[in-house]
Chain A
Amino acid sequence: MTMRVLRKGSLKTAAMFGAGMIALAASGGAGMAAVSCGANTGQAATGAPVKVGGIFGNAAPGDFSASTTAARAYFDCVNANGGLNGRPIQYLTENDQWNPELAAQAASKLLKDEKVVAMVGNGSFVEMAVNAPTYKAEGVMTMASACAVSECFESPNIVSTNQGPLPSTVGAAQYMVEEKGSKNVSCIGLAIPDVGPWSCGAMEGYMASKGLAGSSVLLNPASPDVNSALLEAVGSGADTILVNLPAGLAIAFLKAAEEQGMGDSYQWASSTPLYDRTVPEALGAYWDGKMYVNAEMTPWDKGGPDAVNWLAVMDAYAPKEAARDSFSQSGYLSAKIFVDAMLALDPATLDDRAAVTAAITAIKGVTSDLMCGPYYVGEADRHMPNHAGTMVVVKGGGFETVRDCYEYDSPYFAPIFEQEKALGLR
């Protein structure tokens, strides 16, 4: 896996990330010593290891390993700084390769063979849907970091630090309605029930709740034809087109829109997949200042203690070329919240999965500058702590924040707001 990450930089990105690193090191000025991890003792942990698992997806057509890579970096840092009361974390990660069977096998290996006490940093498209029942049956809590499907947010034993497509889509629509005067939004999603219809449907719900019009256009990922979807969106009478697709497909869709010269005749927004360092360049100058993107974690350059520590930990403990993106932020944050909860736990019960699960479930009101709202878990059949975000616009080859942290509002979040009231967070 490390090898995979290393060779990521083998081509073009090597130069880019290299330059980025120098800039970051210079601007941070903190150097490598400034990391702050766990108990922060400076002493390496030497006791019997505590096993923690993680499942990521990395194969064609995509790589979600940034979250587990960041979690591993943080755990390594914790292990060098006293571990969990002197015991190092042994972080076991498995690649599901987007294959549901491999995902189930990985869960069996980690939960039944290795008997991990918790899962942290998971990032995948398929793993959560397949394993949600297993996590419940095994009584383990999964603190995921890079979720994309509904099951990840509507299961009792999974809680994710990232937002996933639904809040991000609603958030993007909300910004367009409140600040850009959109009256009719067309959401372009994937024709996969637990992805596109789920998230675009919630956006339609939001629009309806405001007395405005919303519609969904669904694209089958196997089809080479994005033009008809574009025409369908135009036919819906929308004034705003909200792209809710994986980055590669989104760029193909926007290229078709550019071909039609539609950049100025419609307003454009996107959910979080387009908040990626390489996107502005791939989109090209045409979209400069036109494309508004919702970011599920706070922007990379926003600063704050966790943001600085995240980059410092990555510099010190992650492979040089590992991505420093939203998933990486999310993986770092999941790992940090997990470690903080474990440090507060009675050391004698660290190997007891039930005790660890109870400790994770009890997490509430954790704040971080990497996330707009508070993180909490609680006992519930669904978890979606992260439903506030930032809006940015593609500008000058990068991104510019246009609206800082704001909470989303949609009928979908009603049960979640109830939970927060019950936990005293609202």
Chain B
Amino acid sequence: MRMSGVIGVILLAVAVVLLPVLAGGQWVRIFTSTACFALAAMGAAFIYARLGMVSLAQVALMGVGGWVFLRLNHATALPFEANLLAAGLVTSVLGMLLALPALRMRGLYLALMTLMVAGALEIVFTARQFPNGGTGFWGVATSFSATVRRPLLGQSDPAYLRYSLLVMGAGFLLIEAHRRAAPGRAWALIRRSEAAAIASGVNVTLYKTWAFGLSGLLAGLGGGLLAGSLGLLDAATFRASESVLLFALVVVGGARFWFGAVATAVLYRVAPALLNNWGVDADLALILFGAALLHAVITAPDGIAGQILGFVGALRGRMPGVRP
């Protein structure tokens, strides 16, 4: 795994340098969206892989992050970074609140709890939309929306892509750092048995809440970045079904590996864009997408990331260490 981490950092560096230069205007935007959703996917993937907990509200939480980001952008003169951080933190707190019932739930029930949250948020987003510079608490004006400030180092679209990739990399490293330190060991123990974890002095409540908070943080950052990229958000992006779909793709991508989250985001944003670019009818693309999803769930236990590892392992002539 250490090896794949090093490769990851190298690949990220290559992407940061090359993607903004090589991609055209359309693809710069597609890759920016992909980076935003990769952050959220990483959040969902890691609580699933480390704790067996399923969040079907990840995209809805991105919406919360995006809302906070836009609200602050239009209400204050704070710099981009402050707004982004606030978006991450507020979403993180919401994630932790979500974790309180989660402490007592497992498996499907927990997943459904998060789905109910996603369903409720969908209704709020539709009825209230996202702040665009209007007055009042909800900040929605009906005319031309006010501008969204971008970071100093990301004024143009290509520079913003570079910035987003770096934030994504930082998010991934944050997870990796946790995995290697005390929280990672605590999570592993909790996953085996909470009783055992408590017996060995692990604060189960703290670490579970922490994990959800971390996952929410990544979703919030992703939502804030997306808002900065588009300048405004629309409720259609954050429907409950999108949250379910993102989690399905997390399973397909492979939840246990960092490149699984990247694969998830690529499937979620790059694949539909490619099909659209090739002129495939949107409805037919949906059929293809659904079929591919079913196929991957049936055939790939560790997702695409697992298959990549298997392939690399076969190349090296031995099985890779893919233990959790």
Chain A residues with CB under 8 Å of chain B are: 1, 3-4, 58-60, 94-95, 97-102, 104-106, 108-109, 111-113, 126, 129-130, 132-134, 136, 150-151, 154-156, 191-194, 197-198, 218, 220-222, 381-382
Contacts and interface: CB of A to CB of B under 8 A. Distances in A.
A94 B139 CA distance: 31
Interface of B: 24-26, 28-30, 33, 122-123, 126-129, 138, 140, 142-145, 147, 157, 226, 229-237, 269, 272-273, 276, 279, 281-283, 286
Nearest to A98: B236
Given A222-B122, A222-B123, A133 B282 contact: no
A38 to B, nearest CB: 27
6 contacts: A100-B236, A113-B25, A156-B144, A192-B235, A220-B123, A222-B126
Given A98-B236, A100-B233, 17 more contacts: A4-B281, A4-B283, A60-B283, A101-B33, A101-B237, A104-B230, A108-B29, A112-B25, A113-B25, A129-B234, A150-B143, A154-B143, A193-B129, A194-B140, A194-B142, A220-B127, A222-B126
Given A97-B282, A109-B24, A133 B126 contact: no
A129 B141 CA distance: 11
B152 to A, nearest CB: 18
A220 B26 CA distance: 33
Contacts of B269: 101
A134 B33 CA distance: 17
A132 B144 contact: yes
Contacts of A382: 143
> What is the predominant secondary structure among interface residues of chain B facing chain A?
helix
> Nearest 5 CB-CB pairs, A to B?
A112-B25, A154-B143, A109-B26, A150-B142, A108-B25
A59 B282 contact: yes
B157 A108 contact: yes
A292 B282 CA distance: 35
Contacts of A218: 127
* A4, A108, A156, most chain B CB atoms within 10 A: A108
Contacts of A99: 236-237
A100 B237 contact: yes
B145 A59 contact: no
Contacts of B29: 101, 104-105, 108
Given A100-B236, A150-B142, A151-B142, A95 B33 contact: no
Contacts of B281: 1, 3-4
A58 B157 CA distance: 26
A194 B283 contact: no
